[in-house]
Amino acid sequence: MTFETIRAKDIENYIGRYNVLIIDLREPNEYDNAHIPTAINIPYLDFENKKSTLPSERLLILYCDRGNLSLLLARELSKEGYQVKNIYGGIRAYRGQLVK
């Protein structure tokens, strides 16, 4: 399997879609401070424990602070058969409205 890296501005095309799960991999305090609309928080270090709860039929879009951790995790998940995209540059590259 392969995964795609998308530009931060392209996330606007996925927000609110029923078949997409946007996942913020940052720590809860960072997520609480500001996150992309509709994103859920699963910290990178907790992801392995929560992975089994993820719906396999949905597209997973991952982001972190700068895009490094989400890139690593996207590679891993794509090898396991998940449909996954990574946001290039993470939340720092995102210029849209954030939710608190």
What's the gap between Cα 61 and its chain centre?
Answer: 4
Catalytic residue among 8, 36, 64, 84: 64
Residue 35 annotated to the active site: no
Output DSSP code: residue 65. Answer: S
Residue 33 has pLDDT above 70, yes or no: yes
Helix or strand holding residue 27 (H, E): none
Cβ neighbours of residue 88 under 8 Å, at least 6 residues apart? 5, 6, 7, 8, 67
Q: What is the pLDDT of residue 1?
A: 61
Query: What would the mean pLDDT of 14-29 be, rounded to a whole number?
Result: 97
Residue 92 has pLDDT above 80, yes or no: yes
Residue 38 has pLDDT above 70, yes or no: yes
pTM over 0.85? The answer is yes
